[in-house]
Amino acid sequence: MTQPAAHRRASIADVARAAGVSVGTVSNVLNRPERVLPGTRERVEAAIEELSFVRNGSARQLRAGTITTIGAIVLDIANPFFTDVARGIEERLDRDDFTLMVASSDDDPDREQRYLRLFEEHGVQGVMVVPATNNIEHLLAVRRRGTGVVLLDQPSSDPSISSVAVDDVRGGELAAHHLLDEGHTRIVFLNGPHTIRQCADRHEGVVKALAAAGLDPATALVEITVTSLNAEGGEAAIRGLLESGDRPTAVFCVNDLVALGVLRTLRTENIAVPTDMAVVGYDDVAFAAELSTPLTSVRQPTHELGVRAADLLLSGPDSAAEHVMFQPTLVVRGSSSTVAG
Amino acid sequence: MTQPAAHRRASIADVARAAGVSVGTVSNVLNRPERVLPGTRERVEAAIEELSFVRNGSARQLRAGTITTIGAIVLDIANPFFTDVARGIEERLDRDDFTLMVASSDDDPDREQRYLRLFEEHGVQGVMVVPATNNIEHLLAVRRRGTGVVLLDQPSSDPSISSVAVDDVRGGELAAHHLLDEGHTRIVFLNGPHTIRQCADRHEGVVKALAAAGLDPATALVEITVTSLNAEGGEAAIRGLLESGDRPTAVFCVNDLVALGVLRTLRTENIAVPTDMAVVGYDDVAFAAELSTPLTSVRQPTHELGVRAADLLLSGPDSAAEHVMFQPTLVVRGSSSTVAG
DNA sequence: GGTTCCTCGTGAAACGGTTCATAATGTAGC
DNA sequence: GCTACATTATGAACCGTTTCACGAGGAACC
């Protein structure tokens, strides 16, 4: 029979007492059972069962030092891009029996800091971060104090911190270049705040493409900052745009969720895509190809991104920092081109 | 200037020595700064900075006992359903300054157990679990040992464990009933394994609807177990079905990702939806309405689910267990009905 | 029978914080 | 000048593990 709910959790000492052995022996049963005589071991195991003993992880870790956990802090856990990356991380971590904890900063530097601190104080082996700002001073500090740090989806501005990223300038360029090729001369870019590096870079890419085409970004580019990087943000932004009477012929969205919101709105407003308005997204999430107007999007190697990031973190704190940069590709579909499949 | 990378992290004792005070004073600066004279405090703070001291969370927790973190274990972190729920949890937790850690069991009971153990050993205040099996013995044990447990998306079979769920029998019934209404007399159900309770329940609902319509489930229902609960699983299942020459007129998918795989395949195979084949999904994820054939789906109140779950966990271990059951609704769209909007 | 070696088990010393009874110092009141 | 009382700072006890030097008891060998 089980005990009535005891107020204090049973400790190793309680188990030792119940089994009539010393604490050292209980610890051995837990960690190196082969060093304990089968009879003794059984008695200890019975006591553990009886007292429903659970190791105190804090004490264990305090004494033993290490823990095989790594933390990941992403901007938005509901964004398929990040969860695809997380799957990649998990896959790699599993091979080494590491454990992954995911937290979401919600683009908020304070939340990022809070989770970072939590992970660090609890001695995770390393942490992967998609920084909410382009100031990574606090991450450098973490790194200096001995916790592994890998920047996710963000090229490192510091040689001592590894990073795994995708060329966002190139991504913005690909998207804009494509829209210009399709004959558009003015692009509306529904972007996130430039404090998010990806957003700033994609913007830079767009400007670059416009300049290369001999257009003046000051007139050929309208950048609108969405309130949130999801479908609701996209819907609100495009709605505001339409209500202002300024109807562009081409919209580039900083991610596919925003594009989803745009497409949804255009459909209810009976604006034809791509003939009245072309739309390009970013991330090429799973459903992009299956939308009513298949979405042209910039594809990033999400899974591979996660795997490489985990690789770098597991390679240990002593190996040199590496900076991996993947290249995005443009997948043209019906939302931006009448000739696309 | 910063120190050369020290091998051992600075401890409170190091700080105390550097600042010329006792460890108790350092602890006070950290936890009750108002009890320390400004001058002393500044000296301690300078030493903390100088040594780049970080509290050892394990030691702190070992002594102090509590931690304001709660853990969540979901089946698949890449499934929008779970991440939407997670957003709800986070929103509620934020109000009480709690912190959320998410882990993914990948439908694997061993992984679930591993993460559960990790959370429990590290003394989280509570844990929310979408169980990978319908055996919740291990969760009961966790509960008995004093850690809060709330079943997520799973009605509790035990009165002592709170749960927040959506009526999946009803959901299956809604879907099947709708397909029967549309004139179909045989339904293929692409389901997950019945060890996952949601899958078993939705199956039960389908059977119930068939029986109510006077059909024999043995002939009117074909259940196929997908290899994975995502687009790839759906694609593989429907492809196998088509190759076997058994082409049904109605397919019900256990979630929208599976349905996405099905729609994708049907499109490449030039099978018209819904005229040649009707498709119904589950979860009503954000993109369901925007697909090339808008997907009929069973909607669940994901966000609210998360909020309520967090509510229950925060209400403390002493309050009575509660069992919240939400009702799903059917959203009819073009993938299953020619008259739908 | 004495030495060496093994196998098991012991118990105390860390690990790095928090907490609390106590001391030291200063200030006020009489 | 003495008591009473804040205000600050101290340092040791404690949280629950792991680890390790050590001892007890046999077995094996010469």
pLDDT digits (tens, 9 = 90+) for B21-72: 999 999 999 999 988 999 999 999 999 999 999 999 999 999 988 788 999 9
Q: Which nucleotide is nearest to A39 (CA to C1')?
A: C8
Pick the CATH number of B66-167+302-326 from 3.40.50.2000, 1.20.120.1200, 3.40.50.2300, 3.90.230.10: 3.40.50.2300
Q: Does the C-beta of A63 come within 7 A of strand D?
A: yes
Average pLDDT estimate for A238-242: 96
Distance B57 CA to C14 C1' (A): 17
Q: For A291-305, what is the mean pLDDT?
A: 95
Contact A52, A81 (CB under 8 A): no
Average of per-residue pLDDT values in chain B: 92
Name the residue facing B264 among A56, A263, A290 (closest C-beta): A290
**Pairing state of beta strands B329-331 and B296-299?**
antiparallel
pLDDT band at A6 (very low <50, low <70, confident <90, very high): very low
Which residues in window 12-31 of B are less than 7 A from strand C by Cβ? 12-13, 23-24, 26-28, 30-31
Spatial separation of the C-alpha atoms in residues B86 and B78, rounded to whole Å: 12
Query: Residues 269 to 308 of B: which have CB under 8 A from any A CB?
Result: 286-287, 289-294
Looking at residue B7, its pLDDT comes to: 57
Calpha distance A81→A74 (Å, rounded): 10
Amino acid B22 CA to nucleotide D20 C1' distance, rounded Å: 30
* Average pLDDT value for residue range A297-322: 91
How many Å from the CA of A31 to C1' of C9? 15
Please give the residue of chain A at the shortest CA–CA distance from B87.
A78
CB count within 10 Å of CB B324 equals 18
Chain B environment of A230 (Cβ under 8 Å): 286
Query: Which amino acid would we find at residue A62?
Result: L
Q: CATH second-level architecture of A67-166+302-326?
A: 3-Layer(aba) Sandwich (3.40)
End-to-end CA distance of chain A: 67
Residues A147-174: pLDDT tens digits? 999 999 988 888 889 999 999 999 999 9
The partner residues of A323 in beta bridges, in order of sequence, read: A163
| Fold of the domain spanning A12-63 | 434 Repressor (Amino-terminal Domain) (1.10.260)
**Cβ of residue A56 lies below 7 Å from strand C:** no
- Chain A residues 15-54 with Cβ under 7 Å of strand D are 23-24, 26-28, 30-31, 53-54
Burial B216-250 (b: 16+ CB within 10 A, else e): ebeebbebeebebbbbbbbbbbbeebbeeeeebbb
Model pLDDT, residue A160: 87
- pLDDT value at residue A252: 98
Q: Residue window 195-234, chain A: list those with CB within 8 Å of chain B.
A: 230-231
Nucleotide closest to residue B44 (CA–C1'): D9
pLDDT tens-digit readout, B245-272: 889 999 999 999 999 999 999 999 999 9
Mean pLDDT of A87-114: 92
Query: In angstroms, rounded to a whole number, what is the distance separating the alpha carbons of residues A40 and A38?
Result: 6
Q: Which residues of A touch B95 (CB under 8 A)?
A: none
For residue B253, how far is the Cα from the chain centroid?
19
pLDDT band for position B8 (cuts 50, 70, 90): confident
Q: What is the pLDDT of residue A176?
A: 98
Taking alpha carbons only, the member of B70, B76, B73 closest to residue B283 is B76
What's residue A315's pLDDT?
87
Q: How far apart are CA A234 and CA A255, in angstroms?
A: 9
* Nearest protein residue to the C1' atom of D16, measured from CA: A59
| Cβ neighbourhood burial of A138 (10 Å; 0-12, 13-18, 19+) | middle
Domain borders along chain A are 12-63, 67-166+302-326, 168-301
| Minimal C-alpha gap between A5 and chain B (Å) | 7
How many residues does this entry show for chain A? 341
Distance (Å, whole) CA B30 – CA B16: 12
pLDDT tens per residue, range A186-223: 999 999 999 888 999 999 999 999 999 999 999 999 99
Protein-covered nucleotides of chain C (CB closer than 7 Å) are 7-21
Cβ–Cβ under 8 Å, residues B194 and B203: yes
Please state, in angstroms and as integers, the Cα–Cα distance from residue B263 to each residue in A261, B256, B259, B266, B334, following that order: 21, 10, 6, 5, 12
CATH class (in words) of the domain with range B168-301: alpha beta
Give the best residue of B58, B82, B117, B140 to mutate against chain A (max A CB count within 10 A): B58
Over the stretch B66-84, which tens digit does the pLDDT of each residue have? 788 999 999 999 989 999 9
pLDDT tens per residue, range A46-62? 999 999 999 999 999 99
| H or E segment to which residue A119 belongs | helix A109-121
Condensed to tens digits (0 to 9), the pLDDT of residues A243-258 reads 998 899 999 999 999 9
Which residues of chain B make contact with A83, given a CB cutoff of 8 A? 77-78, 83
Distance A24 CA to C5 C1' (A): 23
What does the pLDDT look like over B184-230, one tens digit per residue? 999 999 999 998 889 999 999 999 999 999 999 999 999 999 999 99
User: Would you call B35 an interface residue with chain A, using a CB distance cutoff of 8 Å?
Assistant: no
Burial class (CB in 10 A: 0-12, 13-18, 19+), A39: exposed
Beta bridge partners of A330: A298
Residue of A nearest to B143 (CA): A5
Contact B294 A289 (CB under 8 A): no
Strand partners, B224: B190
| A294 CA: distance to closest CA in chain B (Å) | 8
Among candidate residues A72, A87, A62, the one with its CA nearest the CA of residue A119: A72
> Prior bond to A33 cis, omega within 30?
no
Q: Which nucleotide is nearest to B24 (CA to C1')?
A: D10
How many other CB atoms sit within 10 Å of the CB of residue A3?
Answer: 11
B66-167+302-326 shares its CATH topology with B168-301: yes
